[in-house]
Chains A and B, each alone.
Chain A
Amino acid sequence: MTESVAGAWRVWECILCGWVYDEAEGDPDGNLPPGTRWEDVPADWLCPECGAKKADFDMRQVA
Chain B
Amino acid sequence: MSAGLVIVGASHAGIALAAELRAADFRPAITLISDETAEPYHRPHLSKECLEADVPPGLLKPAAFYAEKAMVRLGAGVVAIHSSRRRIEMTGGKMLDYETLILATGARARTLPAGLPGAELALTLRNLDDLQRLRARLASARRLVIIGGGLIGLEMAAAARTKGISVDVVECADRLMSRSLSPELAALVRERHAAAGITFHIGSKVRSVTEERVELEDGAVILADLVVASVGNQPRSELAEAAVLACDDGIIVEFDCATSLPGIFAIADCARWPEPGLARGVRHESIAPLSGRRSWLRSD
Contacts and interface: CB of A to CB of B under 8 A. Distances in A.
A46 B45 CA distance: 11
Given A29-B19, A29-B65, A50 B58 contact: no
A31 interface: yes
B62 interface: yes
Given A29-B19, A51-B44, A46 B62 contact: no
Contacts of B23: 29
Interface in A11-55: 29-31, 44, 46, 48-51
A46 B61 CA distance: 9
Query: B45, B58, B62: which has the most chain A beta carbons within 10 Å?
Result: B58
A19 to B, nearest CB: 11
Band of interface residues on A:
under 10
Contacts, number: 23
Contacts of A49: 16
14 contacts: A29-B61, A29-B69, A30-B61, A30-B62, A31-B62, A44-B58, A46-B58, A48-B16, A49-B16, A50-B42, A50-B44, A51-B44, A51-B57, A51-B58
B60 interface: yes
A45 B3 CA distance: 35
Contacts of A31: 62
Interface residues of B, number: 14
Interface of A: 29-31, 44, 46, 48-51
Give me the 6 closest cross-chain CB pairs, A-B, nearest first. Answer: A51-B42, A46-B58, A31-B62, A51-B44, A51-B58, A29-B19
Given A48-B61, A49-B16, 18 more contacts: A29-B19, A29-B23, A29-B61, A29-B69, A30-B62, A31-B62, A44-B58, A46-B42, A46-B58, A46-B59, A48-B60, A50-B42, A50-B44, A51-B42, A51-B44, A51-B45, A51-B57, A51-B58
Interface of B: 16, 19, 23, 42, 44-45, 57-62, 65, 69
A31 B166 CA distance: 42
Contacts of B42: 46, 50-51
Query: A29, A44, A48, A50: which has the most chain B beta carbons within 10 Å?
Result: A29
Nearest to A50: B44
Contacts of B19: 29
B117 to A, nearest CB: 37
Nearest to B45: A51
Contacts of B62: 30-31
Contacts of A46: 42, 58-59
A50 B42 CA distance: 7
A5 B283 CA distance: 43
A56 to B, nearest CB: 11
Contacts of B69: 29
B32 to A, nearest CB: 14
A1 to B, nearest CB: 18
Contacts of B57: 51
Nearest to B59: A46
A30 B23 CA distance: 13
Nearest to B58: A46
Nearest to A29: B19
Contacts of A30: 61-62
